[in-house]
Amino acid sequence: MADTRIGKLRWRVQARRHPSAFLLGAQLLSLVLYPLFDEMRGGRVLFGALGVVVLMLAVWVVNRSPAKVWVAWLLAAPALALSVASVALVNDTLLVVSSALEALLYLYAAASLTAYMLGDHRVTTDELFAAGATFTLLAWGFAYAFFVCQAWYPGSFVGAMRPEEPRTWLELLFLSFTTLSATGLGDILPVSSPARVLVMLEQFAGVAYIAVVVSRLVGLTILRYGAK
């Protein structure tokens, strides 16, 4: 019993010290598991709900302001409810609305973590984890935005395989990662004007993320170890 309590206490301490690490781990775990559930209607919703719960915990720890937490919950609560309702009622409209809210939520969290990393002139271990978590949050946020765009403007994205069919969630997430990282593999392309605007915005976000956040963290880390 004592060992169990000590173990729980250690987990709580680590969660408070490195919340971004838990968020990044949850995002990467869901990414690995997505292929197993991508064809299931409720699979993405299940992992999306898990991601939102973990995301809210990270936002609560990193951002102590009640106003910011209130904004995050304002987006998260209806997103979760609509996700569950869309599966239970087999309603695509509810799924699109919940995806729009999740896109806003993930982008808001990415902005919050960015502000957290830029808030001082020292680099902590949690800020390094936050750098990875912010990248995944941006990728997920734009993937949800792509999903909404495809629903509102059918045929917005085409692929090398089955170009006439709508892109799956995993394909849109893949497009988001390749765009944000400037890899640009090109097997999935935006063809409508709204889709191309979203892709251009993500390209800008990716360049700005590298130029502002990553370069600053690298520079401060070099200064910290160079001063020793």
157 SS3 class: strand
Q: Which of 41-55, 84-98, 148-162, 184-198 has the lowest mean pLDDT?
A: 41-55
**pTM, rounded to two decimals:** 0.83
Per-residue model confidence (pLDDT) at position 48:
61
CB 150 within 8 A of CB 167: yes
Task: Say whether pLDDT at 58 is over 70.
Answer: no
Residues 108-115 have a mean pLDDT of 85
Q: Which domain holds residue 191?
A: 2-226
* CA-only gyration radius of the chain, Å: 19
14 falls in which pLDDT band (50, 70, 90)? very low
Structurally, the chain folds into a number of domains equal to: 1
For 119-134, what is each residue's pLDDT tens digit?
Answer: 767 767 777 788 888 8
CB 45 within 8 A of CB 84: yes
Residues 52-56 have a mean pLDDT of 67
The tokens describing 162, both together, are 């089955």
Rounded-to-integer distance, Cα 157 and Cα 146, Å? 9
CATH code where residue 19 lies: 1.10.287.70
Residues 147-161 have a mean pLDDT of 92
